[in-house]
Amino acid sequence: MPQFLLLKYYRGGPEQHHPFPPMDQWDPEDVEAHLAFLRHVTELLKENGEYVEHQALTPERTWVRYGGPDAAPVTTDGPLPETSDLVAGWWKVDVESRERAVELAAYTSSEPGPGGGPLYEWIDVREVMSGSTSGD
C-alpha cells in the first residue's frame, strides 16, 4: 500500500487560512489541548493500522555543502528569507489511497488553535517512493 508523509511546517506553505500567533504566545490550556490532539492523531493512526512513524524536528537548520578538495565543508544557517519553508515534523502513514492520506491530513489540520477553534493549518502530503520491486 502507498505510504505518505503528512508534513507540518514551522513556516512556509500557502498563505494561512486563519492567521495565528506562534504557539509560545498561546494560553497554556490551548497549548495543552493542541498537544493532546496531536497525541490523539498518533493514537488514532495506530488504532487504524495506518501508522508507520512520526517525528518532530527542531527549528534549528544548518545548510551544508561539500567545500571542495582539502577544504572544510561549507555551512550556513542563512541568510534565508523568513518565509522559506521549514519542516517541523511528520506522520508517516500506510494507507489504501492518496484520498485517504488527504482525508487524514485534513483531520490533522482541524487541530485546536488559540481559543480552541480549528487551526486550519496547511499540511503537506507527500507520497513516499516504494523501494520494493513489483512482481507484475
Partner 1 sequence: MTDNPTGQLDEGALRALVPRVLAGMVRRGEDFDAAEDALQEALVEALRVWPERPPRDPAAWLATVATRRLVDARRSEAARHRREEETQAEPRPAATEEGDDTLFLLFCCCHPDLTPASQVALTLRAVGGLTTHEIADAFYVPEATMAQRISRAKRSLRGRRLDQPGDLAVVLRVLYLIYTAGHAGRVDLAAEAIRLARQLTLATGEPEARGLLALMLLNHARLPARFDPEGRIVTLDRQDRGLWDTREIAEGVRVLQSALAAQTEDRGPGRYQVEAAIAALHDDSPSAEETDWPQILAWYDDLVALSDDPIHQDPAAVLGRAVAVGHVLGADAGLRETDRLREVLGDRHRWHAVRGHLHELGGDLPAAAAAYSEAARRATSVAERDHLVRQAARARAV
Using rule CB under 8 A, residue 51 touches partner 1: yes
Residue ranges in 63-92 that form contacts with partner 1 under rule CB under 8 A: none
Is residue 135 a contact residue for partner 1 (CB under 8 A)? yes
Q: List Cβ<8 Å contacts ≥24 apart for 121-125.
A: 121/8, 121/16, 122/9, 122/13, 122/14, 122/16, 122/17, 123/6, 123/7, 123/8, 124/5, 124/6, 124/7, 124/8, 124/9, 124/13, 125/4, 125/5, 125/6, 125/7, 125/98, 125/101
Rounded to a whole number of angstroms, the minimum distance from the CB of residue 135 to partner 1 is: 4
Site size with partner 1, rule: CB under 8 A: 22
Query: Nearer Cβ to partner 1, position 47 or 82?
Result: 47
Closest separation between CB of residue 52 and partner 1, Å? 6
Residues that bind partner 1 (CB under 8 A): 1-3, 46-53, 94, 96, 127, 129-136
